[in-house]
Amino acid sequence: MRIRCELLVAVLSTACGGSSPTSTGGGGNPPPPTAAVTMSEYRFSPETVRVAVGSVVGWNNNGTTSHTSTSDGAQWNSAAIAPPGPPPMTCPYPPCDNTPGGSFQHTFTTAGTYPYHCTFHDSLGMKGVVIVTP
């Protein structure tokens, strides 16, 4: 029975894009984040991140529901990132990262101010900003 459950989880995870999304491009593992943002109950923590050009910002979902990190200016979109715990049985908002406690990274190559939000919880005020300095 356990093998059947593990197989079902693997199949569902693969069908919904089970790998962790990244905007860092290229092959292999992305570099470790310069700054980390935690996604929890309808908020990003910290809400404001200050980094230098070339920095990698990582978002980690530690909440109880799926979240996204979505740029207001279309520079990045993480897709749905699952919360910690067992993967959901279905993919509620394709494409999905059904990896429990999923994460997302984006490399900032241009100085500027980048507001972003969670697509699912924008109306609840789940917003943040990344400030990138030269």
Tokens for 24? 């860092």
Report the alpha-carbon distance of residue 134 to residue 119 in Å, rounded.
29
Cβ(57)–Cβ(76) under 8 Å?
Answer: no
Domains and CATH numbers, the chain: 2-18+40-133 (2.60.40.420)
pLDDT of residue 7: 33
pLDDT of residue 31: 72
Helix, coil or strand: residue 130: strand
134 residues of the chain, pLDDT tens digit each: 433 333 333 333 333 333 333 343 344 566 788 899 999 989 999 999 999 999 999 999 998 899 999 999 999 999 999 888 765 556 655 656 555 578 999 999 999 999 999 999 999 999 999 999 99
pLDDT of residue 16: 36
pLDDT of residue 101: 73
pLDDT of residue 94: 61
pLDDT of residue 100: 57
pLDDT of residue 14: 32
Report the alpha-carbon distance of residue 23 to residue 10 in Å, rounded.
24
pLDDT of residue 98: 52
